[in-house]
Amino acid sequence: MTEFRTVKSSQIILKELMIPSYSNFGGKVHGGIILSLMDKIAYTAAASHSRNYCVTASVDSVNFVNSVEVGELVTLMASVNYVGRSSMEVGIKVYSEDFKLGVNKHTNTSYFTMVAIDEDTRQPVAVPGLILEEDIEVRRFIWGKFRKQFKAEYRHKFQALHQDLDIATETGNLTGENCQIALP
Ligand SMILES: CC(C)(COP(=O)(O)OP(=O)(O)OC[C@H]1O[C@@H](n2cnc3c(N)ncnc32)[C@H](O)[C@@H]1OP(=O)(O)O)[C@@H](O)C(=O)NCCC(=O)NCCS
Protein backbone atom coordinates (compact mmCIF):
# COMPACT_ATOMS: atom_id res chain seq x y z
CA MET A 1 0.00 0.00 0.00
CA THR A 2 1.43 3.40 -0.97
CA GLU A 3 -1.24 5.49 0.70
CA PHE A 4 -0.34 7.87 3.57
CA ARG A 5 -2.54 9.71 6.06
CA THR A 6 -1.79 12.43 8.56
CA VAL A 7 -1.66 11.73 12.29
CA LYS A 8 -4.27 14.43 12.86
CA SER A 9 -6.82 12.78 10.55
CA SER A 10 -7.37 9.94 13.05
CA GLN A 11 -6.71 11.75 16.36
CA ILE A 12 -9.68 11.52 18.66
CA ILE A 13 -10.96 12.65 22.07
CA LEU A 14 -13.53 10.76 24.10
CA LYS A 15 -15.19 12.12 27.24
CA GLU A 16 -17.28 10.12 29.67
CA LEU A 17 -18.91 11.01 32.97
CA MET A 18 -18.15 8.51 35.75
CA ILE A 19 -21.56 7.36 36.99
CA PRO A 20 -22.23 5.44 40.27
CA SER A 21 -22.62 2.06 38.50
CA TYR A 22 -18.94 2.30 37.46
CA SER A 23 -17.72 2.20 41.08
CA ASN A 24 -16.05 -0.61 43.01
CA PHE A 25 -16.57 -1.54 46.67
CA GLY A 26 -14.18 1.24 47.71
CA GLY A 27 -16.27 3.88 45.94
CA LYS A 28 -13.66 4.53 43.23
CA VAL A 29 -14.15 3.84 39.53
CA HIS A 30 -13.23 0.28 38.44
CA GLY A 31 -9.94 0.11 36.53
CA GLY A 32 -11.77 -2.11 34.04
CA ILE A 33 -14.11 0.74 33.08
CA ILE A 34 -11.13 2.89 32.12
CA LEU A 35 -9.50 -0.03 30.25
CA SER A 36 -12.70 -0.61 28.30
CA LEU A 37 -12.85 3.07 27.29
CA MET A 38 -9.19 2.88 26.27
CA ASP A 39 -9.87 -0.15 24.07
CA LYS A 40 -12.81 1.66 22.50
CA ILE A 41 -10.81 4.78 21.63
CA ALA A 42 -7.83 2.71 20.42
CA TYR A 43 -10.14 0.86 18.04
CA THR A 44 -11.67 4.12 16.80
CA ALA A 45 -8.29 5.72 16.07
CA ALA A 46 -6.92 2.58 14.37
CA ALA A 47 -10.07 1.92 12.32
CA SER A 48 -10.17 5.58 11.34
CA HIS A 49 -6.52 5.56 10.18
CA SER A 50 -6.78 2.24 8.33
CA ARG A 51 -10.45 2.54 7.31
CA ASN A 52 -10.60 -1.13 8.14
CA TYR A 53 -11.76 -3.53 10.86
CA CYS A 54 -9.04 -3.90 13.54
CA VAL A 55 -8.28 -6.12 16.52
CA THR A 56 -6.35 -5.37 19.69
CA ALA A 57 -3.08 -7.33 19.47
CA SER A 58 -1.50 -6.12 22.71
CA VAL A 59 -1.74 -3.55 25.47
CA ASP A 60 1.32 -2.10 27.15
CA SER A 61 1.45 -2.03 30.91
CA VAL A 62 -1.16 0.33 32.33
CA ASN A 63 -0.08 2.11 35.52
CA PHE A 64 -2.82 4.06 37.25
CA VAL A 65 -1.06 7.02 38.85
CA ASN A 66 -4.27 8.57 40.24
CA SER A 67 -7.62 7.05 41.13
CA VAL A 68 -10.81 8.16 39.40
CA GLU A 69 -13.84 9.18 41.47
CA VAL A 70 -17.52 8.83 40.68
CA GLY A 71 -18.81 12.19 39.37
CA GLU A 72 -15.58 13.03 37.56
CA LEU A 73 -15.32 13.60 33.82
CA VAL A 74 -12.77 11.29 32.18
CA THR A 75 -11.11 12.50 28.99
CA LEU A 76 -9.19 10.11 26.74
CA MET A 77 -6.98 11.38 23.93
CA ALA A 78 -5.75 8.95 21.30
CA SER A 79 -3.33 9.26 18.44
CA VAL A 80 -1.77 6.76 16.03
CA ASN A 81 1.92 7.06 16.91
CA TYR A 82 3.45 4.43 14.69
CA VAL A 83 2.41 2.09 11.90
CA GLY A 84 4.16 -0.99 10.58
CA ARG A 85 2.75 -3.09 7.72
CA SER A 86 -0.53 -4.10 9.35
CA SER A 87 -0.09 -2.93 12.96
CA MET A 88 -0.68 0.50 14.45
CA GLU A 89 0.48 1.73 17.84
CA VAL A 90 -2.14 4.00 19.40
CA GLY A 91 -0.96 6.19 22.25
CA ILE A 92 -3.65 7.03 24.79
CA LYS A 93 -3.56 9.66 27.56
CA VAL A 94 -6.26 9.64 30.18
CA TYR A 95 -7.19 12.61 32.39
CA SER A 96 -9.89 12.90 35.02
CA GLU A 97 -11.53 16.20 35.97
CA ASP A 98 -12.98 16.99 39.37
CA PHE A 99 -15.64 19.66 38.68
CA LYS A 100 -15.89 20.85 42.28
CA LEU A 101 -12.16 21.40 42.74
CA GLY A 102 -11.56 22.38 39.11
CA VAL A 103 -8.64 19.93 39.09
CA ASN A 104 -7.60 17.94 36.02
CA LYS A 105 -5.37 14.99 36.98
CA HIS A 106 -3.39 12.65 34.78
CA THR A 107 -4.66 9.10 35.33
CA ASN A 108 -2.51 7.07 32.98
CA THR A 109 -0.83 6.76 29.60
CA SER A 110 -0.68 3.56 27.61
CA TYR A 111 0.00 2.14 24.18
CA PHE A 112 -2.33 -0.25 22.38
CA THR A 113 -1.18 -2.22 19.34
CA MET A 114 -4.03 -2.66 16.89
CA VAL A 115 -3.86 -4.84 13.77
CA ALA A 116 -6.00 -4.30 10.65
CA ILE A 117 -7.71 -7.53 9.60
CA ASP A 118 -9.36 -8.56 6.36
CA GLU A 119 -12.87 -9.59 7.42
CA ASP A 120 -13.07 -12.37 4.80
CA THR A 121 -9.65 -14.00 5.13
CA ARG A 122 -9.15 -12.95 8.81
CA GLN A 123 -5.53 -12.18 7.87
CA PRO A 124 -3.65 -8.98 8.72
CA VAL A 125 -3.76 -6.42 5.91
CA ALA A 126 -1.50 -3.49 5.05
CA VAL A 127 -2.43 -0.09 6.45
CA PRO A 128 -1.59 3.41 5.14
CA GLY A 129 1.63 5.03 6.28
CA LEU A 130 1.76 8.08 8.51
CA ILE A 131 2.45 11.64 7.38
CA LEU A 132 4.44 13.21 10.21
CA GLU A 133 3.86 16.96 10.21
CA GLU A 134 5.29 17.97 13.60
CA ASP A 135 8.43 17.24 15.63
CA ILE A 136 6.33 15.56 18.34
CA GLU A 137 4.83 13.22 15.70
CA VAL A 138 8.31 12.26 14.49
CA ARG A 139 9.43 11.63 18.10
CA ARG A 140 6.34 9.50 18.85
CA PHE A 141 6.90 7.48 15.65
CA ILE A 142 10.53 6.77 16.65
CA TRP A 143 9.55 5.73 20.19
CA GLY A 144 6.78 3.52 18.73
CA LYS A 145 9.29 1.86 16.41
CA PHE A 146 11.53 1.01 19.39
CA ARG A 147 8.60 -0.19 21.53
CA LYS A 148 7.57 -2.56 18.71
CA GLN A 149 11.14 -3.86 18.43
CA PHE A 150 11.58 -4.34 22.20
CA LYS A 151 8.17 -6.05 22.56
CA ALA A 152 9.00 -8.50 19.76
CA GLU A 153 12.36 -9.29 21.41
CA TYR A 154 10.63 -9.81 24.77
CA ARG A 155 8.02 -12.13 23.18
CA HIS A 156 10.73 -14.22 21.49
CA LYS A 157 12.85 -14.44 24.67
CA PHE A 158 9.84 -15.47 26.72
CA GLN A 159 8.81 -18.12 24.17
CA ALA A 160 12.37 -19.52 24.25
CA LEU A 161 12.30 -19.53 28.06
CA HIS A 162 9.03 -21.51 28.01
CA GLN A 163 10.74 -24.21 26.00
CA ASP A 164 13.97 -24.31 28.01
CA LEU A 165 12.85 -23.66 31.59
CA ASP A 166 13.65 -26.46 34.03
CA ILE A 167 10.86 -26.21 36.62
CA ALA A 168 12.60 -28.59 39.09
CA THR A 169 15.74 -26.40 39.11
CA GLU A 170 13.72 -23.19 39.36
CA THR A 171 11.66 -24.63 42.24
CA GLY A 172 14.95 -24.99 44.11
CA ASN A 173 15.74 -21.32 43.35
CA LEU A 174 12.63 -20.03 45.14
CA THR A 175 14.40 -19.57 48.50
CA GLY A 176 13.82 -16.00 49.65
CA GLU A 177 10.65 -15.60 47.59
CA ASN A 178 7.35 -14.89 49.32
CA CYS A 179 5.98 -18.44 49.06
CA GLN A 180 5.96 -21.78 50.85
CA ILE A 181 6.35 -24.96 48.82
CA ALA A 182 3.61 -27.28 50.11
CA LEU A 183 3.63 -29.96 47.45
CA PRO A 184 2.13 -33.33 48.56
C1 LIG B 1 -2.99 -9.93 16.38
C2 LIG B 1 -3.02 -11.05 15.33
C3 LIG B 1 -3.87 -10.60 14.18
C4 LIG B 1 -1.59 -11.25 14.83
O5 LIG B 1 -1.65 -12.35 13.95
P6 LIG B 1 -0.31 -13.03 13.41
O7 LIG B 1 -0.67 -14.25 12.70
O8 LIG B 1 0.70 -13.08 14.50
O9 LIG B 1 0.11 -12.02 12.31
P10 LIG B 1 1.54 -11.51 11.90
O11 LIG B 1 2.66 -12.32 12.48
O12 LIG B 1 1.49 -11.34 10.41
O13 LIG B 1 1.60 -10.07 12.58
C14 LIG B 1 0.78 -9.05 12.10
C15 LIG B 1 1.19 -7.79 12.81
O16 LIG B 1 0.81 -7.88 14.16
C17 LIG B 1 1.91 -7.60 14.99
N18 LIG B 1 1.76 -8.42 16.19
C19 LIG B 1 1.51 -9.74 16.22
N20 LIG B 1 1.41 -10.14 17.50
C21 LIG B 1 1.58 -9.04 18.26
C22 LIG B 1 1.61 -8.80 19.66
N23 LIG B 1 1.42 -9.78 20.55
N24 LIG B 1 1.84 -7.56 20.10
C25 LIG B 1 2.04 -6.55 19.22
N26 LIG B 1 2.03 -6.71 17.88
C27 LIG B 1 1.82 -7.94 17.42
C28 LIG B 1 3.12 -7.96 14.16
O29 LIG B 1 4.27 -7.27 14.62
C30 LIG B 1 2.68 -7.53 12.80
O31 LIG B 1 2.87 -6.14 12.65
P32 LIG B 1 3.31 -5.49 11.23
O33 LIG B 1 2.45 -6.10 10.16
O34 LIG B 1 3.03 -4.04 11.38
O35 LIG B 1 4.76 -5.77 11.05
C36 LIG B 1 -3.58 -12.39 15.91
O37 LIG B 1 -2.72 -12.82 16.92
C38 LIG B 1 -4.98 -12.24 16.45
O39 LIG B 1 -5.95 -12.22 15.70
N40 LIG B 1 -5.12 -12.15 17.80
C41 LIG B 1 -6.43 -12.00 18.41
C42 LIG B 1 -6.77 -10.52 18.51
C43 LIG B 1 -8.10 -10.31 19.20
O44 LIG B 1 -9.04 -11.02 18.97
N45 LIG B 1 -8.13 -9.29 20.08
C46 LIG B 1 -9.29 -8.99 20.89
C47 LIG B 1 -9.28 -9.86 22.09
S48 LIG B 1 -10.85 -9.83 22.89
Q: Is residue 174 part of a domain?
A: no
Structural domain that includes position 148: 4-169
Q: Residue 12's pLDDT band (boundaries 50, 70, 90)?
A: very high
> Is position 183 within any domain?
no
In a domain, 147, yes or no: yes
The pLDDT of residue 172: 93
Question: Which atom of ligand 1 sits closest to the CA of residue 87?
Answer: 34
155 CA: nearest ligand 1 atom: 23
Q: Note whether residue 184 is domain-resident.
A: no
Assigned domain for 76 exists: yes
Q: What is the pLDDT of residue 99?
A: 87
Q: What is the pLDDT of residue 153?
A: 97
Arithmetic mean of pLDDT over the chain:
96
175 found inside a domain? no
* Mean pLDDT value of segment 31-49: 97
Instruction: Provide the pLDDT confidence category of residue 113 given band limits of 50, 70 and 90.
Output: very high
Cβ < 6 A, ligand 1 pocket = 55-58, 84-87, 113, 115, 124, 151
Which residue, judged by its Cα, is nearest atom 20 of ligand 1?
57
In-domain check, residue 128: yes
Closest of 95, 50, 59, 96 to residue 77, by C-alpha? 95
Residue nearest to atom 6 of ligand 1 (CA): 124
CATH number at residue 23: 3.10.129.10
Count: domains in the chain: 1
Looking at beta carbons, which pairs linking 156-161 to residues 24 or more positions away fall under 8 Å?
none
Is residue 1 predicted with pLDDT exceeding 80? Answer: no
